[in-house]
Amino acid sequence: MHEDLKYAKNGCMIIRLSITILSFSFYAFALCLPAIHGHGSSLYGLFLLLLGWVKAMTLECEAWLANPIFAMSLIFFLAAEYKISALSAIVAALVGLDTFRLERFEIDEAGNWVPFERAGSAFYAWELSFVILAAGALYLWKRTQQPASP
């Protein structure tokens, strides 16, 4: 019985590490891809990560807030708090959908901006990183639940 418990914990650690790497890889990949397109221009994920907080603080588009929620979810996931991690990753994915409320994004202080016509591939990779973490946390949460005693 002791060996079964040891194997289960090691198996969860390997799965947890794999999910963490996969989720964070999609997040990092999203930083290198075009996130929004408009009038022949594109803004990349890293640009939006660095400056998107401005839109969130002015309440024009709160999608950027999915980033700190994702970070919190990742911390809970690494601490094996799977239920909280899953819920916060789901919240991050839902908050990220606020991207579609964006009308335009200012790119400099001279008043130049890019209108939001469509989401780029970065948006989908970014959202997928949240979904992967949520699915992994739900899986591990269910796996680590103790069966009910008769």
35 inside domain: yes
6 inside domain: no
114 inside domain: yes
Q: Please say whether the beta carbons of 42 and 36 come within 8 A.
A: yes
Residue 65 has, within 13 A of its CA and on its CB side, a CA count of: 15
pLDDT exceeds 70 at position 12: yes
Q: Please say whether the beta carbons of 2 and 10 come within 8 A.
A: no
Summarize the confidence of residues 53-72 as an average pLDDT: 94
Residue 144: how many CB atoms within 10 A of its CB? 13
21 inside domain: no
More confident of the two residues 149 and 52:
52
134 inside domain: yes
Domain span including residue 43: 26-144
Residues 6+ apart with CB under 8 A from 51: none
pLDDT of residue 147: 64
11 inside domain: no
H/E segment holding residue 105: strand 104-106
5 inside domain: no
120 inside domain: yes
Pairing of strands 113-115, 118-119: unpaired
pLDDT exceeds 50 at position 117: yes
Q: Please give the tally of structural domains in the chain.
A: 1
Pairing of strands 34-38, 118-119: antiparallel
